[in-house]
Amino acid sequence: MKIFIAGKVGEEEVAREAMNMLSQAGHEISFDWTTIPHLKPYDENSEASQQAALLESRGVLESDALVLLAHDKGVGMYVELGMAIASGKPIYVVGTGSSRTMFIYHPLVRRVGTISNLLNVLEKSNGQYSEKSRISESKSKT
């Protein structure tokens, strides 16, 4: 499965670790945003910011799924979440810092907690995401 990892700038090591674990399990990373240098302030780096935005957008759109490394201080990762939802892609949320947006509760989103749990979910489903199973899973937790 081709996966885009969305994470907080400044937390690149966490993102790289997730990418490595998914790659070792046979998944492909659609784009490694951790290779882009920090571009803030964006208005002083507008051309590089534009290119980075295009590369990351393409990474989301060309992926089969998005993994969100949730962080309550993240910004861009939630833009990528919106792109994935708008594209109808399955989204897996890792971590607990997900109260920043109501879209974490969208039917395409599945909260898995850890990368290890995500790997188990992907292995059991053979990379196939079922919105029906996600909805029934959430109902069984209530």
Q: What pLDDT shows up at residue 125?
A: 85
Q: What whole-number percentage of the chain has pLDDT above 70? A: 87
Q: Is the pLDDT confidence value at 141 over 70?
A: no
**pLDDT tens-digit readout, 13-45:** 999 999 999 999 999 999 999 999 999 999 999
How many other CB atoms sit within 10 Å of the CB of residue 127?
A: 16
Task: Please report, for the chain, the start and end positions of each structural domain, with discontinuous segments joined by +.
Answer: 2-140
* Topology (CATH) of 2-140: Rossmann fold (3.40.50)
64-81 confidence digits (pLDDT tens): 999 999 998 889 999 999
Contacts 24+ apart (CB under 8 A), 22-25: 22/67, 22/115, 22/118, 22/119, 25/119, 25/122, 25/123
pLDDT single digits (tens) 46-61 = 999 999 999 999 999 9
Cα–Cα nearest to 77, from 88, 67, 64, 65: 67
Please count the other Cβ atoms lying within 10 Å of the Cβ belonging to residue 63: 25
Tokens of 42: 């964006």
Reported pTM: 0.87
